[in-house]
Amino acid sequence: MGLLTNRVERSEIKPGDHIYTYRAVFTYSHHGIFVGGSKVVHFTPRQNPNTSSDGSPDLYDPAPSIASSCEIFPDCGFRQPNSGVVLTCLDCFLGKGSLYCFEYGVTPSVFLTRVRGGTCTTAASDPADAVVHRAMYLLQNGFGNYDVFQNNCEDFALYCKTGLLIMDRLGVGRSGQASSVIGAPLAAILSSPLKLLMPSPVGVATVTAGMYCMSRYATDLGVRSDVIKVAVEDLAVNLGWAEPHEALAEEDTKGSGRLVVR
Ligand SMILES: [Zn+2]
């Protein structure tokens, strides 16, 4: 792996690695978990052209015809009905793109030197078997609705690697990639982690210059204080896809504004 790029060869990746590739000429990256045997588990929009929230389904539909086009693996494109989590071969995942490996446990200084969001995180990765377990579990059980700003392929891979979820009123999300798409997002500027990182109101101009990097840093999984570790088996409950604890979660959001999970 080079110093300035996460480009890797196929022979270098191991089961449990978070890999990604660029689509549409470097405007969009697609992320997945390599589970071994030339297979990748990744999160894609469901096969519904009307699900895109921003009116550009082509840009955010990285695998429109994945199931029918593969001649290498007969089970390539496997997914549960109504699930966005799909198992494909590495070739179908990459398309014509190059292979990159997402970095975990980088230092804050390394993180801030990365020009492009969504290539590394300061959060630590869990052991490979735990990562593969989460990916395979979610393949069987789904990962909620695809939303590029709140619950996208990068969030999926980040969750599989770390077990960490960002909990707030809006649910999971705000990955580095979503931040890149909308530049320095107002939501991130106003978010409490960034306020804590700003020493004082003095030198606002300086802060603005570094705002893009800082907002990425403040929204990074490894830095945020509002992330929680969630076992994959409990995921549906914590994200509100399952009924049992919904009333409880609702109560916790009152007052604090944050979902508190005990
Ligand atoms: Zn394939």
Predicted confidence (pLDDT) per residue in 197-223, tens digit = 444 444 444 444 455 556 677 778 777
Q: Residue 184 Cα, ligand 1 centroid: separation in angstroms?
A: 36
Between 73 and 226, the higher pLDDT residue: 73
Active-site annotation holds for 153: yes
Torsion of CA 117, 120, 123, 125, to 10 degrees: 140
- Nearest of 83, 102, 95, 112 to residue 32 by alpha carbon: 102
**pLDDT at residue 168 in the model:** 52
39-51 pLDDT, tens digit per residue, is 999 998 654 444 3
Active-site annotation holds for 42: yes
Active-site annotation holds for 18: no
Q: Please pick, among 30, 76, 89, 101, the residue that the annotation labels catalytic.
A: 30
Structural domains of the chain ordered from first start? 10-253 (3.90.1720.10)
Q: Please pick, among 76, 92, 101, 153, the residue that the annotation labels catalytic.
A: 153
The span from the CA of 210 to the CA of 85, in Å, is 36
